[in-house]
Amino acid sequence: MRSFANRTEGFEDSIFAVMSQKAAQYQAINLSQGFPDFDGPEFIKKSACDFINKGANQYAPFAGVKELRSSLADLYKDFYDLSYNADSEITIVNGATEGIYATIQALINPGDEVVVFEPVYDSYVSSIKLAGAKAVPVTLKGPNFTFDKQELENAFSHQTKLVIINSPHNPTGKVFSTQELEMVARPATKHDCFVLSDEVYEHLVYDDVKHIPFASLEGMKDRTITISSAGKTFGLTGWKVGWCCASDDVIDRIRKVHQYITFSIATPLQFAVAQGLKEIKSYLVEFRSCYQSKRDLFMQGLEELGFELPTPKGTYFIMLPISQKTELDDIGFCEKLIVENKVATIPPSAFYLNSEEGKKYLRICYAKEDETLKKALSNLQGL
């Protein structure tokens, strides 16, 4: 009898694919999947076309093209005062997703434990399972998605090898403060763990809030693997150009894994991202104000509909508390909104391992044209 690998047991289609399929089936406005419904900036797309036409079309070096690694080293120094050696401490991967998978494969043994914060980005848990390890969740509790210090400390054991933190956080839109990150740093240091810091939304922070890279905390750089991606920053999620920054011994291990997953990443896109990063300061002004105004438009609409929630300070997601409006759980209410209101969202209970907290919310992505957001709000009238 033919059978499949045990390690894939329990893997299902991701909730994002399922909801997008339903959105199409019911012709609902799709506020579920986390990407913009508008295109990325002209200057970087043109740059990619130029590199293709100039012949940058063969395999890139497996560590990534030097131009991109150097642009990243400059950016980390300039923005965060973090020094990474472009040759030995930065590697380019196929989006943050591959960076997360390769890092976990490089660091984690079967039987190890990995502390994660729930709601948790789904690829962490699958990557941990594929490594034969166990995800140990700490729950972020609404409405401000804070965690309990004792619960965090209790999550660590002699088996804990890694902590994964994501700030700004998908799906809550929370940006962790220095004080909160330091609360994570303490047990990570005590148990001598690595920290994977997923910072793909690092430039999507609003109002007076600042993104704090975990590696910038005192004494944390050596144990931290910082992962980010051009997909969110340039609104080009289909390009899948991501990177890992860490100490040279860790990067060496990650590269050893990466060479057998994808080996190298699309050459012209790497060159174009390297160019794009050179113009990032002026680009970010417009980029942030565009997303902040979308957040404000959508939040105002939700308030007019009678929802009460704190304003999220980062990413392009809102966790909408639904118990003010319905007795249904997240899955039931999500179905109702698709079928009756023609608006697709994500039921976040899929992002929780232990807690029932997710049943009280829906995740909404507001990285959409203003007209799309207005139409969705109008469909939600009368809730």
Ligand X SMILES: Cc1ncc(COP(=O)(O)O)c(C=O)c1O
Residues that bind ligand X (CB under 6 A): 34, 95-97, 121, 166, 170, 198, 200, 229, 231, 237, 240, 242
Q: Is 283 helix (H, G, I), strand (E, B) or coil?
A: helix
Closest separation in Å from C-beta 95 to ligand X: 3
Backbone angles phi, psi at 304, to 5 degrees: -65, -25
Residue closer to ligand X (CB basis): 166 or 267? 166
Residue closer to ligand X (CB basis): 173 or 231? 231
Closest separation in Å from C-beta 82 to ligand X: 19
Cα first-last separation, the chain: 52
Closest separation in Å from C-beta 74 to ligand X: 21
**Between the CA atoms of 322, 326, 329 and 334, what dihedral angle is there, to the nearest 10 degrees?**
-70
Residue closer to ligand X (CB basis): 237 or 341? 237
- Where does 40-167 show beta strands of DSSP type E? 90-93, 113-118, 134-139, 160-166
In the chain, count H helices and then E strands. 13, 11
Residue closer to ligand X (CB basis): 34 or 187? 34
Closest separation in Å from C-beta 228 to ligand X: 8
% helix / strand / coil in the chain, to the nearest 5?
Answer: 45, 15, 40
Secondary structure in 3-state letters for 10-51: CCCCCHHHHHHHHHHHCCCEECCCCCCCCCCCHHHHHHHHHH
Tokens of 88: 């030995």
Q: Which residues pair with 245 in a beta bridge?
A: 90, 226
Residue closer to ligand X (CB basis): 203 or 240? 240
Closest separation in Å from C-beta 238 to ligand X: 9
Nearest residue to ligand X, scored by beta-carbon proximity: 95
Residue closer to ligand X (CB basis): 196 or 337? 196
Closest separation in Å from C-beta 328 to ligand X: 26
Residue closer to ligand X (CB basis): 180 or 380? 180
Tokens 């909160």, residue located: 180
Residue closer to ligand X (CB basis): 196 or 376? 196
Closest separation in Å from C-beta 230 to ligand X: 8
Closest separation in Å from C-beta 112 to ligand X: 21
Inter-axis angle of helices 95-107 and 122-130, to 10 degrees?
30
Q: Tell me if 82 sits within 8 A of 213, measured CB to CB.
A: yes
Q: Tell me if 101 sits within 8 A of 135, measured CB to CB.
A: no
